[in-house]
Structure 1
Amino acid sequence: MQPNLMINDAEWDKLISDVAYYFEDLTLKRGFQYYKQNRVRSFRMISSRRVMAVVEGREDYAVSMELDSLTDSHCDCPVQGPCKHMAAVLMSVAESQERSVNMLANAKAVIDRKKAEALEAAAAAGVSGGRREQAKELAGLIPGATVEEWRNYMALLTAPLAQTVRNPHYAERALSAIAQAKADLPPGAELLFQLNAHLFILESLITPSGSHNAGSLSSFGYSLGYYTAIAVSELQEAITSLMKRSLPLASEPEAWPRLKDTLAHVQLEMLTESRDRLREQPYFSFCYDQLWQRWIAPNASDPALYLEELEALRERAGGLGAAVNRSALLLAESRMYFYLSDDKAAWERLAAASERPGLHPDELLGCLEPLAEAGHWSRLAAWLETTGPLLSSRLYNLHRYAGYWEEVVRRLPETEPRMWDTLSAMLPLSGDIYEGKLLDHGKWREWMDYQLSSGKEPSDFRVSDLQPVEKNAPELLLPFYHQAAERFVLEKNRHSYKAAVKLLKRLAKLYKKMKREERWAEFLDAFTGRHSRLRALQEELRKGKLIP
């Protein structure tokens, strides 16, 4: 983003304060859900203080946000004042500024937290000397401890917070408590310790009983509260950030045992995790995928590692019996076959997993990013062909999937027909990206055929949406406008007559652009004559200066 469009720290703090003051907490919650569902489209920062976007709701709503004065902002929706569409756009502002989206979504709690900082600081200063001594003692044990022992130490360090409400502030305090036992660890071990600390706190957030026994999440069809969900989301962001850092296993091979112990713990939680959250990937499934993609696969030169994991998955599943989630098992096996370059076996397991409920689309598309990063375009095309038709959720934004197709076609132009075949087979789910790509590739007739077959009307589009077709193939719009105008007239009411005249004026411009004014004059004479008895229509034609 251009430097002159960046929001400085003072402006960011003021925005949080203003959001907390003007928006209801429930409105922020709903706006955050809209943001997470990728409903914000056409996002543009006009300046560092003004933002425009379109938000998908019951229909598309145009939103204009004035960051210096939120009361001067506007949304086309029926709500008077701050609404969830405005809130969703503000979340996108935070993302574009690389600021914490969750902090903005939780603005009221953030402000309350700042007010309580003095009390918290006093409470922290009152930590007993005995607990400080315990933290110091544990710090001496951490360098030689196993992952299981680390987790036991973390339980001791966070025990005073056991009755604390599970929210973002709890997560911060728990991480701070674990940091009291700061140990001198090599870089690889330090990363693994930090990962396990975040996973430990993640479990304490999503496990109502507070138990940290592996596999304890399986029995809970538990719905998180709003503030707990915010904390979980922040932890996932932190875990993703941690795993983007390189794990130096080549120079620190002694870190492998701890890495494998961490994997075994995550594997068990992943296989027994509840999968009833349709809007986001299950927590430990996400961690499991990231662990392999970021840390293990880049350091694995021997395919035996993937074969060992396949065996471990099946052995663990056999021991869990009915407690194992079959979707999670199939997805994990698919990823191992992917790393073994056995794509057929990987696809078979993905197809079987896609038939089960509770599957998040990101889990079907998780192998696309590694292929794109490695530049394996031919293989990526095959994966796009196979995985796209497995998607069945309308809640998913397919623009990232479409972006991979663009990358493939740009490098391998001969794959373009395969892209069109795949996207057309995915209709109507792929409708938005299919339409967009038809326009991007100048397939004007195909685009118009799709609109007509979908029963679309010109009123379904903004004028700017139709400008590319109007500029490059105006003749295709003639039947589109003609048919719609006639349908409006048949409704026989003043509103529909106005809409018909509006379309006729657009038709007049098209005929003039095509230098077919005589044909337009003939049509207009026939049209007015055919509907001469409709006085209201004749009045609207005169108002529109189409007839004298």
Structure 2
Amino acid sequence: MTAIPERFHEPLQFAANELMELLRAENPEHERLIQKGLMLFRQGLVYQLRFDGDEITATVQDVTPAKVQLNLNFIQLSTCSCPADEFCRHQLAVFFQLLSHARSVSTLVEEWRKPLREKKVAKQLGIQKAKDLLQTAGRLKPNYDRWIAAFDESFHTILEGNGEPKPYVITELYKVYTRRMKANAPYEQEWKLLYFLVGHVFSFKKLMGLSVKYGHSAEMIHRYYKQLFYEIADDVVDVIHSLSVHSLPFAFDDFIEKLKEDSSGLITAEFPLEFERIHLYRILWTKFFKKKDWCQEELKKLRAVEENSHPLLIGMIHLHFLQKEDDIILEQLALPDKWMTPFITYWIELLTAQKDWKRVAPFIEVYIKKLKDYLSIPKDYYEKMSYTRHTIKTIQPYCIEANRQDLYEKALMEMLPYSYNEYEYLLFDNEAFDRWTDLQAYMGLDIDRLQSDRLKALEKQHPHLLLPLYHQSVQDHIAQKGRDNYRQAVRKMKKLRTLYKKLKRQDDWAYYLEALLEKTKRLRAFQEECKRGKLIDA
């Protein structure tokens, strides 16, 4: 058996972990993919496994041979000559072949399938626990404390009744718990809605407590059951909306006040998912706890908390927002705190929905000033792209309504390079061609990647604006060296010659060419390509 070079040992283990996270046992397509990869590997159809520098290559004999290149540092960047768009059976077969030189492939696959089996077992045990509870309880009459006690008993019995729950079984157990919660709901529609509202808030906090109790990291929560917190917040919005179409009976007052008292725990507790609990807290205070004196009491309560945290600060700012104390808010938002930036969009969206254009303006202005610093935080590129799109959608209504294209353009500039597509379109559509070409130079895009209809329009109307783009492209190709790049440089130089002639600036072209040839006189291959392209005499 061929020994694996020592430098591949650590990357191989890292790649195994990445791959097992990328593929999920509960996904039937992923299960089939694993089976096909295993079959190719076990039938001995992987051959020519080679280690060349940091690159691993192999061939897989399938219907037609597939050439595979594995990237252990970034397993998703591995390539295969087959037509598959994503990680394929050939790449898996090569990975299993490589792994077999270091550890048991069967053990890895069994570990991968283990959470799925445990989920099924946990779900069955949870269902049995729920049935046991159902025999000793029934529909709950309106009583806040009894509701909370029933929620608490069900949560503990179903999620913790068989010991410490693994992170990957929590979603399945929680779904059983919510079915049990629904079975206990009061019959009357209005009381049922209030019951669900109380239950959702309680369950959100209980999930937080469970995560802390068993030491689940933010990474664990994100991977296995973060979506539950989003779903609960969505359920709260739905319930509040349904309640809002009715005049709430006076009998609700005591329930709502107790729920208000309990809601503070969303932002005072120590828990890693800051955005999710702030989101739920703001929803409750915006949509449901609407009395002015309640806001003042809550502010006083929060100020008494000794340890300041991000959720606590945003919670207090939101209470000021509800009381229209914008001077206090804007002073706080103007501080150079990057973490605060994404929370501002909620207030902008609320004011936009109310068409309160005068009030929203300073919020948008302070938000735009913070965008560049916020996007400088190291994060995934696609996450930043998504955030940019959300920002554009958030500020556009005001910019259109107030005719503040200047503000919209400033935001796009602050969000570059992630806002490139929108900014490029805006500039060209408004015929700001000089700034459009400046944008291309700033982005460093080769002129071949720009839309041909854009280039044709500029060449016809403002050919001088294309000169710096072609100059930059020529320099980039020469800097990259190699015959192919030199040929590309010569092709761009011919285009430059045409543009200079069209502008009747042949002397400038001659001066440029002479200086470039002098600068590159040691690049024999480039000089030869210039002769071949008839830019200079042979």
TM bin, normalised by shorter chain, reads: 0.5 to 0.7
**Counterpart in 1 of 2:332?**
349
**Counterpart in 2 of 1:40?**
none
Q: CA deviation at 1:518?
A: 7.1
Tell me which amino acid in the other structure corresponds to 1:207: G
Separation in structure 2 between the aligned mates of residue 463 and residue 544 of structure 1, nearest angstrom: 23
Separation in structure 2 between the aligned mates of residue 331 and residue 135 of structure 1, nearest angstrom: 40
Q: CA deviation at 1:501?
A: 3.0
SS at match of 1:151: helix
Q: Does 1:317 align with 2:303?
A: yes
Tell me which amino acid in the other structure corresponds to 1:370: L
Question: Which of 141, 150, 155 matches 1:143?
Answer: 141
Question: Which of 386, 393, 396 matches 2:374?
Answer: 393
The superposition leaves residues 494-547 of structure 1 with CA deviations (integer Å, 9 ceiling, x where unpaired) of 464244235336647x83xx9929768983897389638554124434776878
**Counterpart in 2 of 1:405?**
395
* Kept in 2: contact 1:361–1:393 (CA 8 A): yes
Separation in structure 2 between the aligned mates of residue 185 and residue 124 of structure 1, nearest angstrom: 28
Pair 529,410 (structure 1): closer, same or farther in 2 beyond 3 Å: closer
The superposition leaves residues 379-401 of structure 1 with CA deviations (integer Å, 9 ceiling, x where unpaired) of 33332112221343224422222
Pair 332,526 (structure 1): closer, same or farther in 2 beyond 3 Å: closer
Question: Which of 179, 186, 189 matches 2:182?
Answer: 179
**Counterpart in 1 of 2:277?**
284
* Kept in 2: contact 1:191–1:242 (CA 8 A): no
Q: Does 1:224 align with 2:246?
A: no
**Counterpart in 1 of 2:106?**
none
**Counterpart in 2 of 1:103?**
none
Pair 210,290 (structure 1): closer, same or farther in 2 beyond 3 Å: same
Separation in structure 1 between the aligned mates of residue 26 and residue 175 of structure 2, nearest angstrom: 22
Separation in structure 2 between the aligned mates of residue 273 and residue 493 of structure 1, nearest angstrom: 57
Tell me which amino acid in the other structure corresponds to 2:217: S
Separation in structure 1 between the aligned mates of residue 111 and residue 83 of structure 2, nearest angstrom: 21
**Counterpart in 1 of 2:269?**
272
Tell me which amino acid in the other structure corresponds to 1:371: L
**Counterpart in 1 of 2:321?**
338
Q: CA deviation at 1:478?
A: 1.3
Q: Does 1:296 align with 2:296?
A: no
Q: CA deviation at 1:375?
A: 2.3
Pair 329,480 (structure 1): closer, same or farther in 2 beyond 3 Å: same
Deviates more, 1:263-272 or 1:284-293: 263-272
Q: Unmatched 5+ residue regions in structure 2?
A: 1-23, 36-72, 93-109
Q: Unmatched 5+ residue regions in structure 1?
A: 1-12, 25-57, 65-69, 83-107, 212-219
Tell me which amino acid in the other structure corresponds to 1:73: D
Pair 125,171 (structure 1): closer, same or farther in 2 beyond 3 Å: closer
Q: CA deviation at 1:158?
A: 2.6
**Counterpart in 2 of 1:479?**
468
**Counterpart in 2 of 1:17?**
28
**Counterpart in 1 of 2:227?**
233
Tell me which amino acid in the other structure corresponds to 1:165: K
Q: CA deviation at 1:119?
A: 5.7
Q: Does 1:251 align with 2:231?
A: no
Q: Does 1:382 align with 2:362?
A: yes
After superposition, where does 1:98-109 map in structure 2 within 5 Å?
none
Q: CA deviation at 1:231?
A: 1.6
Pair 264,283 (structure 1): closer, same or farther in 2 beyond 3 Å: farther
**Counterpart in 2 of 1:503?**
492
Q: CA deviation at 1:447?
A: 3.1
* Kept in 2: contact 1:481–1:503 (CA 8 A): yes
SS at match of 1:174: helix
Pair 117,321 (structure 1): closer, same or farther in 2 beyond 3 Å: closer
* Structure possessing the higher radius of gyration over alpha carbons: 2
Separation in structure 2 between the aligned mates of residue 292 and residue 110 of structure 1, nearest angstrom: 43
Pair 383,494 (structure 1): closer, same or farther in 2 beyond 3 Å: same
The superposition leaves residues 405-458 of structure 1 with CA deviations (integer Å, 9 ceiling, x where unpaired) of 332232222x2234445655x466876465564345442212333454x4x433
Tell me which amino acid in the other structure corresponds to 1:523: W
Separation in structure 1 between the aligned mates of residue 34 and residue 532 of structure 2, nearest angstrom: 43
Separation in structure 1 between the aligned mates of residue 269 and residue 131 of structure 2, nearest angstrom: 40
Tell me which amino acid in the other structure corresponds to 2:180: A
Q: Does 1:523 align with 2:525?
A: no
Give TM-score, length-normalised by structure 2: 0.65
**Counterpart in 2 of 1:102?**
none
Pair 502,193 (structure 1): closer, same or farther in 2 beyond 3 Å: farther
Q: Does 1:72 align with 2:84?
A: yes
Separation in structure 1 between the aligned mates of residue 129 and residue 86 of structure 2, nearest angstrom: 49
* Kept in 2: contact 1:202–1:232 (CA 8 A): no
**Counterpart in 1 of 2:345?**
365
Pair 123,409 (structure 1): closer, same or farther in 2 beyond 3 Å: closer
**Counterpart in 2 of 1:458?**
445
Separation in structure 2 between the aligned mates of residue 501 and residue 20 of structure 1, nearest angstrom: 52
SS at match of 1:531: helix
Tell me which amino acid in the other structure corresponds to 2:393: G
**Counterpart in 2 of 1:41?**
none
Separation in structure 2 between the aligned mates of residue 111 and residue 404 of structure 1, nearest angstrom: 42
Pair 525,408 (structure 1): closer, same or farther in 2 beyond 3 Å: same
Q: Does 1:132 align with 2:134?
A: yes
The superposition leaves residues 35-82 of structure 1 with CA deviations (integer Å, 9 ceiling, x where unpaired) of xxxxxxxxxxxxxxxxxxxxxxx99x9999xxxxx961169xxxx959
The superposition leaves residues 183-234 of structure 1 with CA deviations (integer Å, 9 ceiling, x where unpaired) of 32433x33343243334333343335776xxxxxxxx996235366442223
